[in-house]
Structure 1
Amino acid sequence: MRELSQRTSQFTDSVIRRMTRVANKYGAVNLSQGFPDFDPPEAITDRLAEVAGEGPHQYALTWGAKNFRDALAAKQEHFSGMKIDAESEIVVTCGSTEAMMAAMMSVVNPGDKVIIFSPFYENYGADTILSGAEPVYVPLVPPEFKFDANVLEDAFKTGAKALILCNPSNPCGKVFTEEELKIISELAIKYDTYVITDEVYEHIIYEPNKHTYISTLPGMRERTIICNSLSKTYSITGWRLGYVIANPQIADRVKKVHDFLTVGAAAPLMEAAVTGLKFGDDYYKELQNHYTHMKNLFCDGLKTLGLTFSEPQGAYYVLMDVSEFGVKDDVKFCEWMTQHVGVAAVPGSSFFREDIHSLVRFHFAKKDNTLNAALDNLSSLRKKCADAQNVIWR
């Protein structure tokens, strides 16, 4: 047999999804893979029940059903202030994962460079490699996860074709300030670089932090490619409804790439999700309150246990420092913790380009009883680590 693809030879399975399998194996509380254990809004699921009977059940337009795109454009205009043409500037995709891949393949050529902030969601590096491009990593330095503007400019000077911006950030929960976004935008304009945004956590923000759309800054509307999804905002991660918003020239290219990747998103799910896109401001305020409650419950619990962590400004993740336990292999530590402590986390090294093995990521998009069970299990962490002998993570 001839050799398989060299481009994908270095790929591993997703560490995040692997940890879900480990959690299931040991019956642990799963705070690894980032999906809620509570239901979507009833108005959306009630509408889905109606759609199951009445349809549509056949292909929608490749780039998304018109009523879905119209509702999406209106919703995004409301929150960003940008006028969006639903016909020429929106492409509906199968989740934001496809949105990012289609965006990358639409603007990047093999051999191009792509700037990625580290830590980063694991797909970004893979998307870059699948596009034949070369990632250039710029560190967000813990515990505040700020970047050095000079280091960032050095990355732009490599001739980078695009920059990926996850805001709010997975995994560190950073919300980029308007001042930081201005630095990024000015460099993007100076070096003629596209900015591909991942804004799936746009409505999960903790006061006093504010989400600023970089596409609204001077000179950025034409060079920003917005990638997003409904997964986190409406607790429908399994529906896989994402989208790209970009200027007509870019969106037209994304349409063609998307057509050959997946053809189109699920027509019944788009029809049902229109209901959510039409929710009023009260829904998003309640969403913020709900996530603030979960963050406070979990973070206050970690503080009570005396564990060291970075409190997020947005999204629903916490990076906890496990260096006090002598961890040298965070992958093995997370597997051990899942089995012996009963809580599953994601090893931080899967998010960092730097040689960092002292952080693990928890997510807290869970019911109160789930979070309390996790905290109860974590209360034994320090003692079990102290008692552990001959563990391979030290």
Structure 2
Amino acid sequence: MESLKPSLFDWETVMHKGTIPFLALILALPSPAARSLESAYRMGGKEMHRAFEPVQAFLQQGSAVIKRGFHEVIFGVVVSSDGYLLTKASELGEVGDLTITVDDQRYEKPVLAAVDTEWDVALLKVSATGWHPVDLSRTEDLERGEWIVANGATTRKYRRVQIGMVAANTREIPPSGGAVLGVMLEEEEEGLNLSSITEGSGAEKAGLQKGDRLLAIDGTEVNLREEVLSCLDTRRVGESVRLTILRGDEKIEVEVELAGRTDIFGESMTRNDQMSGDFSTRRTGFPRIMQHDIIGNRHFMGGPVLDLEGRCVGMNIARFSRCETYAIPARDLAELVDSLIKRSTMISAD
């Protein structure tokens, strides 16, 4: 069987029609006597990757590799020509010792410019010019079965393409276990007392203390745990609620940012989790996601997802399981870019 070569393609025509992989497979079909498709023409084969190689140039310039020392932490999406990029916030840790590689250039000492906890997205800034931001002009939701490309294994100078398909309709992924304050409550005759405050929770950051009495949430009086759960039932991770607290003889009000239950208290491993490898620490609680089947681990998140024309159709945000990866759709990503850069600019001006 003759090898598939790029010269067989009128690239502009097949790129427009989105038929490259199908041509590759048709030309590579085995004879009736053959038992299986040659490995080079399977999803991860070298000929399949060669068919998608023209998209690699967009991936090369529009993605970032974020490292701590020699260890790849996460990928990123280039969103401006002057050094802004988006990535997954919960995987970053401290940013001061990170390095960022865009194309073949390495940058040090990134600054955490802004964070959106609802989407688990961080905006980083480095001193740079001449970057080529991704094209976020395709704002309609992709259909199931559409081909997509994302970052695979990388070297210092080269981004290797990974290919896959959109696997499900765009939808919301609620937080596993719901949104929580990050406190333990005891029902007493006089009301609800805070018996403990969870480290790293919105409650701790807001200054709540053990022994405080919870009187109301957003003006609604609460005396039972069930009433607290009812107040939080429709709230999302990253939203804030106003708590009325009695501390000693003083009544005070505080704003508390909600977190996902599993982010604060952890979650038990299912059998599927045990088979899924290195999935994302935060993998639920997103307003809208596009699900696809590109294989990777949590360190492959944060990078762009491209269509066959090189346009950015999303940003990988969570490796959920061995066969599910979630990405923020381009429409929502474009709104995040605008809001976070504006927020960063306002903070800098202050």
Larger Rg: 2
Choose between structure 1 and 2 for higher RCO, CA contacts under 8 A separated by at least 6 residues.
Answer: 1
Q: Which has the higher helix share?
A: 1
TM-score by length of 1: 0.20
Q: Which has the higher strand share?
A: 2
TM-score by length of 2: 0.22
